[in-house]
Chains A and B, each alone.
Chain A
């Protein structure tokens, strides 16, 4: 939960990473989705006064709607709009196959 103006980027990153539909965080094409903290950087979460942006790698076969709902549920209510960017999809090599057993 947020207190005052501060939003904990680490908490958001951990919550999103734990989401079933998400394979990982994604910093965007140029690494522009990131939060810079003293001495380190949380990639995939950007907190601005007007909005929060989260970049994720989805886990196929989760649909965009699933990923969206999962991330927003994991983050919980915020005091500003939450933008979600799905930058890539992670596809398991051994998914359900219509072919018989190899």
Chain B
């Protein structure tokens, strides 16, 4: 939510956007991201993982209502030039393994965030705030 941070352009941006890229090469300019963009992107990426609280599509901050599986995970990011360190608060569906789920969260975020924002993830701190019981019938996956 604080200072904007400089993000370098990935040099290999391919397909089709030649006009924009060309203009950028002639007269370079910076692209900056607010921390909030990284936080929302990470929270959204977490919804792609099964057994993590926050599988329903809600915007970060709207966490006071609804069962855990429908809330968003809370993410705060501290973004440095080209890297991001994340602090994640999430809940996990009860029978799922906490160790393997958090491992999955880390590997998913370190893969997805660079894809979406161009930032490298240096650290993911995870706080598991609750183990929730998946409601039979409502939270079932496939």
Contacts and interface: CB of A to CB of B under 8 A. Distances in A.
A71 B71 CA distance: 32
Contact of B29 (A64, A74, A83, A93): A83
B32 A85 contact: yes
Contacts of B141: 98-100
Contacts of B26: 77
Given A85-B34, A89-B37, A91-B44, A100 B142 contact: yes
Interface string A44-77: 0000000110000010110111001111111111
A90 B122 CA distance: 25
B29 A51 contact: yes
B5 to A, nearest CB: 10
Contacts of B125: none
B57 interface: yes
A88 B41 CA distance: 10
A88 B1 CA distance: 9
B133 interface: no
Given A83-B30, A87-B34, A92-B57, A60 B40 contact: yes
A79 B23 CA distance: 10
Interface string B1-33: 000100101100100010111111011111111
A71 B58 CA distance: 27
Q: Most B CB atoms within 10 A — which of A64, A81, A87? A: A64
A82 interface: yes
A60 B44 contact: yes
Nearest to A80: B27
A47 B48 CA distance: 40
A65 B13 contact: yes
B17 A76 contact: no
A88 B34 contact: yes
